[in-house]
Amino acid sequence: MATEFDVAIAGLGPTGATLANLLGAAGLSVLVLDKEAGVFPLPRAIHFDGEVLRILQSAGLRDEVLAIARPGTQGMHFVNAAGETLLIRGGTAALGPHGCANNYYFHQPELETVLRAGLSRFPKVEVRLNHELLALEQDAHGVRFDLRDRITGNQIQQRARYLVGCDGARSPVRQHMGSALVDLGLRQPWLVFDVVLDEAVDLPTHTVQYCDPARPMTYCNVVGNRRRWEIMVMPGDDREALVRPESLWKLVAPWVRPEQATLERAAIYTFHSVIAEGWRQGRLLLAGDACHQTPPFLGQGMCAGIRDAANLAWKLEAVLTRQAPPELLDTYESERAPHVRSLIELAVRLGDIIQTTDPQLAAQRDARFAAGRPEIFELPPQMLGRGAFDEAAPDSPAGRPFPQPRLPDGRLLDELLGRRSAVIGRADALAAACPATLERWQRAGAIVIDQPAAPLSEWLEAHQARAVILRPDRYIVGIARTGPELDRISQYLPVAP
């Protein structure tokens, strides 16, 4: 048992498990705590996007995740009470910008099993289940915290240089930090009803948002024989009666009968839209539901937490192993919070479309969409907030993820780059950098590609760039068209002072 870990993680859900895998792959010593005895066996999150699969690929788990997920090939359809399609969120199995499909469906217990199994690859990662975080205190060198074994009742004290609270919406770590939650305006109870089909049933193969003011509902084709209905709780509903099997089956009677499927879970959840202020306090940090919660209308709740893990992992690695200044960790919230907030606000706007219960307002909503010609949309490109990026050029793609094409040798880009920074440009362009810049690339552990073949060369040409610098999380630091520009944007690569 280590006397002091590099990082302690409270919570072994998807966010905490992803962070532990990324830190373990970096060779850091990690202690992961969870108060439960194992994986929660019932379905919860059911969707992740292409960027999330790319992150899990960087943790070495792409094939294992693809084995338990399916691409969302037909998207999400918003349908009104008359059966007219108003809006479609696109879906395809084709490779998108991240080198995979844009959307996937899955069963959360299976994903968590994959993530936890991945931790066994790393001898310096220790997992303690059935352990509860009781108290913590930080000093200039790290965090001291007390743990209680929920089986034996024994208490122990442990230290880590940093502690990350991935401990859910009621996060004790957040409460200790005193980080306030800002409400972004949506608080609505919904009934979530999961079944496993026992026989073939004629159901849509895509997700359907039933925008019926009499009873808004969502139907999801999850994975395998799993199907989900999310049913809005209406004023006057008896909640206790609503979750009884006889009530549940009446609600979904147009689609499935009780003899055709096995009820797996029925529970009422309140969909929230909140974001915390203060994701870092010294050596304490927050990630996932501990610092933001979004309604599920975009399927981005778990995705946001895994993006947190990817952003935080390389920064902790840089601080702990490359002596980068600890202030680099301040860019975590300044980058991630605006990104999360924009997705929450978009989910709330979609929720307004779905949750309209006034018939007159619903008719006005329907009239805004051209009947028979549904609008098609995809998740808009998201840009991280102000942080460790070049912001000098307004037309720069800095702060956006770099695509992951397949290279001429058959590999995906990230298989070549690994979890390192990268400098990509033609040899003459890179030779224009000053000696101090070349040394900085080396100290940052960056991989240098000075003969970029297509499609990398095509990307540079399309952006009228001679070079591009990427971070380990595959976000663009900046592009350069001259030697001095390359020197300037290279200063954003974190190294020891």
Helix (H, G, I), strand (E, B) or coil at 458: helix
Q: Determine the average pLDDT of the residues in 407-422.
A: 95
- pLDDT for residue 2: 64
The confidence band for 90, taking pLDDT boundaries of 50, 70 and 90, is confident
- pLDDT for residue 321: 93
Which residue is listed with tokens 């966010």?
Answer: 15
Is 139:298 a contact under the CB 8 Å cutoff?
Answer: no
Domain that holds residue 140: 4-69+103-181+273-333
Instruction: Specify whether 297 is located in the same domain as 436.
Output: no
Is 482:489 a contact under the CB 8 Å cutoff?
Answer: no
> Could you tell me which of 144, 134, 167 has the C-alpha nearest to residue 19?
167
Helix (H, G, I), strand (E, B) or coil at 384: coil
- pLDDT for residue 372: 59
CATH of the domain at 444: 3.40.30.120
- Domain limit, last residue, from 300, 317, 333: 333
DSSP string, 135-146: EEEE-SS-EEEE
- pLDDT for residue 142: 97
> 362-395: per-residue pLDDT in tens?
999 998 886 656 666 677 667 888 776 766 556 7
Instruction: Specify whether 42 is located in the same domain as 153.
Output: yes
Instruction: Specify whether 277 is located in the same domain as 423.
Output: no
Instruction: Specify whether 163 is located in the same domain as 297.
Output: yes
- Domain limit, last residue, from 281, 315, 333: 333
> 208-239: per-residue pLDDT in tens?
999 999 999 999 999 999 999 999 999 999 99
Instruction: Note whether residue 24 is domain-resident.
Output: yes
Instruction: Specify whether 319 is located in the same domain as 428.
Output: no
The CA-atom distances, in angstroms, between 374 and each of 358, 363, 379 are 22, 16, 16
Helix (H, G, I), strand (E, B) or coil at 30: strand
The confidence band for 171, taking pLDDT boundaries of 50, 70 and 90, is very high
Instruction: Note whether residue 79 is domain-resident.
Output: no
Q: What are phi and psi of 218, to 5 degrees?
A: -130, 135
Q: What are phi and psi of 5, to 5 degrees?
A: -95, 155
Q: Determine the average pLDDT of the residues in 343-358.
A: 91
Does the pLDDT of residue 1 top 60, yes or no? no
The CA-atom distances, in angstroms, between 217 and each of 103, 297, 351, 357, 421 are 21, 11, 11, 11, 44
Instruction: Note whether residue 65 is domain-resident.
Output: yes
Instruction: Note whether residue 447 is domain-resident.
Output: yes
State the Cα–Cα distance between residues 479 and 489, nearest whole angstrom.
8
For the chain, give the mean pLDDT: 93
DSSP string, 66-102: HTTEEE-TT-EEEEETTS-EEEEE---SS--TTSS-S
CB neighbours of residue 388 within 10 Å: 24
- pLDDT for residue 74: 79
- pLDDT for residue 29: 98
Instruction: Note whether residue 293 is domain-resident.
Output: yes
Is 239:233 a contact under the CB 8 Å cutoff?
Answer: yes
Q: Beta strand pairing status for 180-197 and 226-232?
A: antiparallel
Does the pLDDT of residue 121 top 90, yes or no? yes
Q: What are phi and psi of 272, to 5 degrees?
A: -115, 160
Q: Determine the average pLDDT of the residues in 19-48.
A: 97
Does the pLDDT of residue 454 top 90, yes or no? yes
Distance of CA 227 to the CA centre of its chain: 22
Does the pLDDT of residue 3 top 90, yes or no? no
Q: Determine the average pLDDT of the residues in 404-415.
A: 95
- pLDDT for residue 392: 56
CATH of the domain at 53: 3.50.50.60
Instruction: Note whether residue 417 is domain-resident.
Output: yes
CB neighbours of residue 255 within 10 Å: 18
Does the pLDDT of residue 495 top 90, yes or no? no
Instruction: Specify whether 288 is located in the same domain as 160.
Output: yes
Instruction: Specify whether 295 is located in the same domain as 426.
Output: no
Q: Determine the average pLDDT of the residues in 71-93.
A: 85
Residue with more model confidence, 92 or 383: 383
- pLDDT for residue 53: 97
Instruction: Specify whether 34 is located in the same domain as 131.
Output: yes
Does the pLDDT of residue 497 top 80, yes or no? no
> Could you tell me which of 496, 430, 418, 492 has the C-alpha nearest to residue 465?
430
Is 464:481 a contact under the CB 8 Å cutoff?
Answer: yes
Q: Which of 84-98, 276-290, 399-413 has the lowest mean pLDDT?
A: 84-98
Q: Which of 92-101, 254-263, 311-320 has the lowest mean pLDDT?
A: 92-101
- pLDDT for residue 186: 81
Residue with more model confidence, 230 or 185: 230
> Which helix or strand (DSSP H or E) is residue 69 part of?
strand 69-71
Residue with more model confidence, 90 or 80: 80
Does the pLDDT of residue 245 top 60, yes or no? yes
Q: What are phi and psi of 397, to 5 degrees?
A: -80, 15
State the Cα–Cα distance between residues 44 and 27, nearest whole angstrom.
31
Number of domains in the chain: 2
State the Cα–Cα distance between residues 421 and 447, nearest whole angstrom.
6
- pLDDT for residue 95: 81
Instruction: Give residues with Cβ within 8 angstroms of 213, minimum separation 6.
Output: 81, 356, 357, 358, 359, 361, 362
Instruction: Specify whether 294 is located in the same domain as 440.
Output: no
Q: Determine the average pLDDT of the residues in 286-301.
A: 94
pTM above 0.75, yes or no: yes
Instruction: Specify whether 315 is located in the same domain as 461.
Output: no
Is 20:117 a contact under the CB 8 Å cutoff?
Answer: no
Instruction: Specify whether 329 is located in the same domain as 427.
Output: no
Residue with more model confidence, 66 or 352: 66
- pLDDT for residue 19: 98
Instruction: Note whether residue 390 is domain-resident.
Output: no
- Domain limit, last residue, from 294, 310, 333: 333
> Could you tell me which of 4, 9, 6 has the C-alpha nearest to residue 115?
9
Instruction: Specify whether 325 is located in the same domain as 454.
Output: no
Instruction: Note whether residue 469 is domain-resident.
Output: yes
